[in-house]
Amino acid sequence: MHMSDALINPAVAGTMFVLSAAAAGVSIKKIHRESADSQQSVAKKIPLTGVMSAFVFAAQMLNFTIPGTGSSGHLCGGMLLSVLLGPWCGFISMISVLLIQALFFADGGLLALGCNVWNMAFYGCFVGSFIIWKPMISTRVSKARIMAASIIACVLTLQMGAFSVTLETLISGIAELPFKFFVAAMQPIHLAIGAVEGLITGAVLCFIYETRSELLWGVNSSKKTRMTLASVLVVLAICAVVMGGGISLLASEHPDGLEWSMEKIAGTSEFESESLVLKKAADIQDMTSVMPDYNLGKEETVAGKSASGLFGSLIVFAFTAGVAMIIRNKNKKVE
């Protein structure tokens, strides 16, 4: 559901940048407050933040086919990160993933970054966690409830994200995509994608519940731990490496839900804009994207796809863990 710059005009891009930046600012303040209250908790979150962000980056490379449609989908990850890191930290981690995807892999436009943060991170991290997850889990927790909350939250937030894409495209007025037909294509396909993401998210959270239940945000559980934190992190890190460097090679070749909807309506997922601002952003992205479309060169190769998965996971891990470390050290200095 990564939007390209060609779908939006500068005014919409700027508005969504402001909204997303405001949400990021609030999130950083909340993280500062939480870290000031519990330095030990933040210290534990630093490696978890890096590993889970890398996990989500790698998981987003695994496009899965939606049977009978000719389309595919992938994990967004906002809900998963918010439950394991807390909504505020989860949101900042999602921004980091989307920023690195746009800069180094040309996945999603630079001007569209504010839109993509809002559509893919805001709803999952805040709506999914506060409105769905916490009310369903706070009173009683079980694997069945974890699965139910994950599926409901992912389905709802992907529906909201997909609808936001259609609204942002409509207001921009660049792409010739009739609103009612665009909505009619986007919502059903992302319903299926959301259901699959919910199952994946629920499976990961059930694993955490069985091994280190105290890592789940909003869960009060006396369940006995079965693995050390280090062991859990190693398992998740191995999964990220295997997904990014290996399983990603088996990802579906079908277009994702957004591209599929555009092709179904307009016959193409490629649109051009005469805006000088958008062209400048494209030039910048051409310079920064060292592995465009997750390849080493213009041609798709197995080595390129695997290398980009490993490189991306590593840089996301380092970047997000570094941000968490900076926040922790800053609070130490304040004290």
Q: Tell me, rounded to whole angstroms, the distance of Cα 28 from its chain centroid.
A: 18
Phi first, then psi: what are they for 71, rounded to 5°? -120, 170
Domains along the chain with CATH numbers = 5-334 (1.10.1760.20)
- pLDDT tens, 81-93? 999 999 999 999 9
What residues form DSSP beta bridges with 256?
72
- pLDDT tens, 262-273? 888 888 777 776
Question: What distance in Å separates the CA atoms of residue 33 and residue 37, rounded to the nearest whole number?
Answer: 6
The pLDDT value given to residue 295: 86
Q: Choose the most confident range, by mean pLDDT, from 38-42, 143-147, 331-335.
A: 143-147
**Rounded alpha-carbon distances, angstroms, from residue 50 to 45, 85, 251:** 9, 10, 24
The pLDDT value given to residue 302: 84
The pLDDT value given to residue 225: 80
DSSP single-letter state for residue 256? B
Report the share of the chain in percent with pLDDT over 70.
Answer: 93
Question: What distance in Å separates the CA atoms of residue 311 and residue 317, rounded to the nearest whole number?
Answer: 10
Q: Which two tokens stand for residue 72?
A: 């595919």
What do you get for the CA distance between the two ends of the chain, in Å? 42
Q: Which two tokens stand for residue 329?
A: 């050290």
Question: What distance in Å separates the CA atoms of residue 54 and residue 169, rounded to the nearest whole number?
Answer: 30
DSSP 180-196: HHHHHHHHHHHHHHHHH
